[in-house]
Structure 1
């Protein structure tokens, strides 16, 4: 079944941004859950995927935008408040958009947007929740800057009273664990991640700049956040 993608990426994409999403090929995506959410989360990042799903369930609404959609695991397993949510998928990589759309095909009201999250999204719709799971650590730049940029862009799509939430791997948290730090260094060299200078204080500074209310806590190497304007 073919799915239409609303694409707006006319500007050139820098190499670091391109590298952060290049690994999400059609051959890799079916293995993502096992490799990333099972092995890496449990053995390296010390953050069970069940904790991530709890965070998702606590914030997701029936008008939801998901940016940096990965394999769609959380959209597939989370508990939406109602039976027929409206879901928007936002990603630079068309492979992930199509993979996730097919995975959540039981939901009829799904829109696909191919966008660079570091640029204005130019999406007319508004949403009550916006998810950013494991997105920020794939983006180039300092966490204090790139997080504010992303927050500013997605807030344009947020209804009054809505929530932005997500999770990200922080290098300073990984410093406590030898194998986690080693793995992150490998990911830096491959370009799959760009979080060498991402720290918990830096993320909190970005949340303070972007939201009137926010929450932030950590599990292992993972930081969980949410913010309201």
Structure 2
């Protein structure tokens, strides 16, 4: 496991072993279909469509999607997260793939970890990050050096604006934002689309409930100057 940042955010520190033990039931079986109105199967579908045999997953949760998706071949799989508990949980779940694990704060520049990846997944990551959408979009800039030519970035994020939210979604989202679990109070569909199209020539966004499923490829020629943070080995 490599370490790039010791920083922690409230949204990440909530992922204790106890929380991870109930995550699949609470989020995947209840909140996704009943509150966010986006069945977990819809998110799994973008994995089945776009995951490659050389894949990096960022913001890994419990590893459920990686455990259930259909890889096209025996994969090289890498996991990246700020939370050690989530990394351990996901790595154990998909240990049959012998995953690499990397601890990193993706709001900061990320040092490449071996060869670039043909696919990078960012599922339920953006809405947990602090700040507005333009600030969070730095994640895309930091992923570009890790993306192989012809590669694809895909994922899902829960939005507060530009989507239809049920009363339950409004209330639960407000609660999560107050607690610092979410940071998406101003996240909008228009801003997500704008930030992706600044960086990629090919962008597809499908809205299901209040969840945006996005796929982006063909990065534009513009590259911000990024100062990479050297990785260190954990003890």
* TM-score normalised by L of structure 2: 0.89
Q: CA deviation at 1:144?
A: 2.6
SS at 1:212 equivalent: strand
Between 120-129 and 31-40, the greater mean CA deviation after superposition: 120-129
**1:58 is matched with which residue: 28, 49, 57?**
49
* Deviation at residue 175 of structure 1 after TM alignment: 5.6
Q: Quick check: 2:161–2:189 contact (8 Å CA) kept in 1?
A: yes
5+ long unaligned stretches in structure 2: 220-235
Tell me the alpha carbon deviations over residues 126-168 of structure 1, each in whole angstroms, 9 at most, x when there is no partner. Answer: 1000000000000011113312x00000111000000000000
| Partner-residue secondary structure (3-state), 2:97 | coil
Structure 2 match to 1:86: 76
Distance 2:113 2:81 in 1: 16
Segments of 5+ residues of structure 1 without an aligned counterpart are: none
Provide Cα deviations, 1:84-143, integer angstroms capped at 9, x if missing partner.
2001100000101111110011112x1100000101111232100000000000001111
The 3-state SS of whatever aligns with 2:177 is: helix
Match of 2:233 in 1: none
Residue 144 (structure 1) aligned with residue 134 (structure 2): yes
* Kept in 2: contact 1:59–1:163 (CA 8 A): yes
Aligned-residue offset at 1:220: 0.2
Counterpart check, 1:38 vs 2:29: yes
User: 2:18: which partner in 1?
Assistant: 27
What secondary structure sits across from 1:185 in the alignment?
A: helix
* SS of residue in 1 equivalent to 2:96: coil
Deviations 1:60-97 (A, max 9, x none): 00000000000100000000001x20011000001011
Alignment partners' CA distance in 1, 2:210 and 2:201? 26
Q: Distance in 2 between matches of 1:173 and 1:49?
A: 21
Match of 2:182 in 1: 193
Residues 1:180 and 2:176 aligned together:
no
CA RMSD of aligned residues (A): 1.2
SS in 1 for 2:41: helix
Normalised TM-score (structure 1) = 0.92
1:9 aligns with 5
Number of residue-to-residue matches in the alignment: 217
Match of 1:128 in 2: 118
Q: Is the 8 A contact 2:163 2:207 kept in 1?
A: no
Return structure 1 stretches of 4+ with deviation > 4 angstroms: none
Q: Secondary structure at the match of 2:106?
A: coil
Q: After the TM superposition, which residues 60-79 of structure 1 pair with which residues of structure 2 at under 5 Å, given as runs? A: 60-79=51-70
